[in-house]
């Protein structure tokens, strides 16, 4: 499949490319790119002062670069900005960044030649993945520079699973190194493609995780005999929220027809908050998700180069602005990170209620032979540790400091750091929810004689048991956690009941 840019891309489009689809431009998009390239050519010919075209960059913005040096300036920007360190980004993340960068160029205000975009699109189509270190970007520069290295035959890339030098990677996919023109070096490191691509991928993962969080919570709620009255549609409507209404509807649908829930009616006046407030916490996360997704789409619809070129080749306009700064994106990623961290923290609390004999009404730690077996005692420790890790990660990156480039860049919005934090929190949250799912399924195995599961939760339980068997202290438990995490990251939750919503 191929995603075609004939309008601004959406975060879903970027996530699809990240997952392996190719990317192409419509005829109209190619015309915009060619027009902007001709404008830059005219700027070079006339000598109109333009940041990064015929001046230095950052604190060197007032240093004029003569025409003979402008191509060298582009190349040197790539080499000097490739300062990333640490582990490499996964291929899915690199592909998402490249997709967002092509989308920015396709607006027609960057001035890169069509050859630049064709090479980048070939990376996606032929699975050539530049090696991009994950650390070292205060905004966007270093990640983008490492992708650009491969375009000029430098750096390294992975082709068909093999790491090789940039020039070898280009040859392997039938391309030659590019000689960059004026402004192209700056355009290749500039803009918010890095943060936008990572955020689009994070939003995609967050949507999938929240779908599973609602389903897993329903399985736990049934196991503990929740009081369904708290999830009544009219009761929840007293607090207007699209997210609360959505989660309440899902819980009612998922738990419709449950013998276990019916048997528990009136057992307690009210449930603990980690149970009773599932619609409120999960609903708040869904609301934040929608807001974040809108901001990522807004970013993809935006020109994020500095400078932006417009006008015509006969009357070129060069606009020095701050569109490469993305406070809204950083704040949105921070907000979603907090929401996902809270969902995971609530999941850990529900896991504790399942394994804790003081409140569960189930065998201690869900062990088949408590005493000689520890059951899920230490699995809850793991969930607690990951939840605490998330709490530390959830501190807002968008408030981080840092002064760069000799006080020229004296404000940093840190959207890339916020997106990377969000991805790390999602990693932990997936494990935490997998642990709750594992515990909830085990709890149900002790409740067979107490009543029937709802059709909606029966499908979840069956999915778990098709992945891992009942646990009896007979194998290392981490393998089950990994298997269930893989299941919830690669598949959608089983269908809900179609009635009772």
Q: Which of 80-84, 111-115, 317-321 shows the lowest mean pLDDT across its residues?
A: 317-321
* Residue 197 near residue 101, CB atoms below 8 Å: yes
pLDDT interval class at 265 (50, 70, 90): very high
Residues 386, 428: contact at Cβ < 8 Å? yes
Collapsing DSSP to helix, strand or coil, 108 comes out as coil
The 10s digit of each residue's pLDDT in 371-419 is 789 999 999 999 999 999 999 999 998 887 666 555 456 557 789 999 9
Give dist(CA 190, CA 71) in Å, integer: 16
pTM of the full predicted structure?
A: 0.94
pLDDT at 489: 97
What percent of the chain is predicted at pLDDT more than 70? 92
pLDDT category of residue 72 using cuts at 50, 70 and 90: confident
User: Is pLDDT of 97 > 80?
Assistant: yes
- Condensed to tens digits (0 to 9), the pLDDT of residues 407-444 reads 456 557 789 999 999 999 999 999 999 999 999 999 99
Closest by CA position to 81, among listed 189, 187, 198, 155: 189
Tokens linked to 361: 């009404």
- Please write down the long-range contacts of 325-328, taking CB distance under 8 Å and 24 or more positions apart: 325/139, 325/411, 325/413, 326/192, 326/195, 326/196, 326/299, 326/413, 326/415, 327/398, 327/413, 327/415, 328/295, 328/298, 328/299
Residue 63 is predicted with a pLDDT of: 61
pLDDT of residue 132: 96
Decide which of 69 and 167 is more confident.
167
Q: How confident is the model at residue 66 (pLDDT cuts 50, 70, 90)?
A: low
pLDDT mean over 354-361: 92
Contact 17, 1 (CB under 8 A): no
> pLDDT value at position 68?
65
Q: Would you state the pLDDT for residue 410?
A: 58
What is the mean predicted confidence (pLDDT) over 47-52? 70
> Among all residues, which ones are annotated catalytic?
51
Parse the chain into domains and list their residue ranges: 2-190, 203-490
Q: Is the dihedral of CA 198, 417, 278, 353 positive or negative?
A: positive
H or E stretch at 88: strand 85-88
**Looking at residues 316-337, what average pLDDT do you find?**
91
Measure Cα distances from 119 to 114, 152, 251, 359 in Å: 9, 10, 48, 60
- Report the residue count for the chain: 501
Higher pLDDT, 173 or 322: 173
Domain 2-190 and domain 203-490 have a common topology: no
Model pLDDT, residue 403: 61
- Give yes or no for residue 472 having a pLDDT over 70: yes
Residue range 236-240: average pLDDT? Answer: 98
Count H helices and E strands in the chain, helices first.
Answer: 19, 9
pLDDT over 80 (residue 501): no
Q: Which CATH class is domain 2-190?
A: mainly alpha
Q: Is residue 482 over pLDDT 70?
A: yes
More confident residue, 499 or 437: 437
Confidence check: pLDDT of 499 > 60: no
Q: Which CATH architecture has domain 203-490?
A: Up-down Bundle (1.20)
Q: How far is CA 269 from CA 287, 361, 444, in A?
A: 29, 17, 23
- Give the whole-number percent of the chain exceeding pLDDT 90: 78
User: Could you tell me where the DSSP H helices lie in 152-192?
Assistant: 166-172, 184-189
pLDDT digit string, tens, across residues 208-224: 999 999 999 999 999 99
Please, what is the average pLDDT of the chain?
92
- Give the residue with greater pLDDT, 467 vs 408: 467
| pLDDT at 62 exceeding the cut of 80 | no
CB 333 within 8 A of CB 421: yes
Is the pLDDT assigned to residue 94 strictly greater than 80? yes
| Mean pLDDT, range 306-327, rounded to an integer | 88
- How confident is the model over 142-170, as pLDDT tens digits? 899 999 999 999 999 999 999 999 999 99
d(CA 415, CA 417): 5
Mean pLDDT across 32-51: 86
């Amino acid at each position: 499949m191929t995603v075609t840019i004939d309008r601004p891309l959406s975060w879903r489009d970027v996530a699809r490319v990240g997952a392996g689809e190719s990317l192409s431009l419509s005829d109209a998009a190619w015309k915009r790119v060619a027009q902007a390239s001709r404008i830059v050519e005219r700027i070079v010919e006339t000598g109109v002062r333009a940041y990064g075209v015929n001046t230095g960059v950052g604190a060197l913005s007032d240093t004029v670069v003569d025409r003979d040096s402008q191509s060298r300036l582009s190349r040197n920007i790539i080499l000097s900005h490739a300062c990333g360190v640490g582990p490499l980004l996964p291929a899915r993340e690199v592909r998402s960044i490249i997709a967002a960068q092509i989308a920015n160029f396709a607006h027609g205000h960057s001035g890169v030649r069509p050859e630049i975009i064709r090479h980048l699109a070939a990376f996606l189509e032929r699975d050539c993945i530049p090696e991009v270190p994950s650390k070292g970007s205060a905004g966007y520069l270093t990640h983008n520079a490492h992708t650009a290295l491969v375009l000029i035959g430098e750096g390294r890339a992975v082709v068909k699973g093999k790491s090789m030098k940039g020039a070898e990677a280009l040859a392997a996919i039938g391309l030659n190194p590019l000689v960059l023109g004026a402004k192209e070096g700056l355009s290749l490191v500039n803009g918010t493609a890095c943060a936008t691509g990572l955020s689009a991928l994070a939003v995609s993962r967050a949507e999938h995780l929240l779908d599973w969080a609602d389903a897993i919570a329903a399985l736990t709620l049934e196991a503990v005999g929740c009081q369904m009255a708290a999830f009544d549609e009219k009761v929840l409507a007293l607090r207007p929220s699209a997210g609360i209404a959505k989660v309440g509807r899902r819980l009612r649908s998922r738990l419709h027809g449950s013998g276990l829930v019916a048997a528990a009616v009136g057992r307690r006046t009210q449930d603990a908050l980690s149970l009773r407030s599932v619609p409120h916490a999960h609903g708040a996360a869904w609301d934040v998700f929608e807001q974040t997704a809108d901001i990522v789409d807004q970013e993809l619809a935006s020109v994020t180069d500095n400078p932006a070129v417009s006008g015509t080749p006969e009357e070129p306009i060069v606009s020095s602005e701050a569109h490469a700064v993305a406070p809204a994106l950083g704040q949105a990623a921070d907000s979603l990170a907090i929401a996902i961290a809270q969902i995971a923290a609530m999941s850990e609390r529900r896991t504790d209620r399942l394994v804790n004999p003081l409140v569960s009404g189930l065998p201690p730690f869900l062990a088949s032979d408590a005493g000689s077996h520890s059951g899920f005692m230490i699995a809850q420790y793991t969930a607690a540790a990951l939840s605490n890790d998330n709490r530390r990660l959830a501190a807002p990156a968008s408030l981080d400091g840092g002064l760069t480039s000799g006080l020229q860049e004296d404000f940093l919005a840190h959207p890339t750091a916020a997106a990377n934090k969000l991805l790390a929190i999602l990693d932990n949250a997936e494990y935490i929810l997998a642990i709750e799912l594992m515990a909830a399924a085990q709890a149900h195995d002790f409740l067979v004689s107490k009543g029937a599961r709802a059709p909606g939760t029966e499908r979840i339980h069956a999915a778990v048991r098709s992945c891992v068997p009942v646990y009896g202290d007979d194998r290392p438990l981490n393998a089950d956690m990994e298997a269930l995490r893989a299941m919830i990251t690669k598949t959608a939750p089983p269908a809900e009941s179609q009635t009772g919503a």
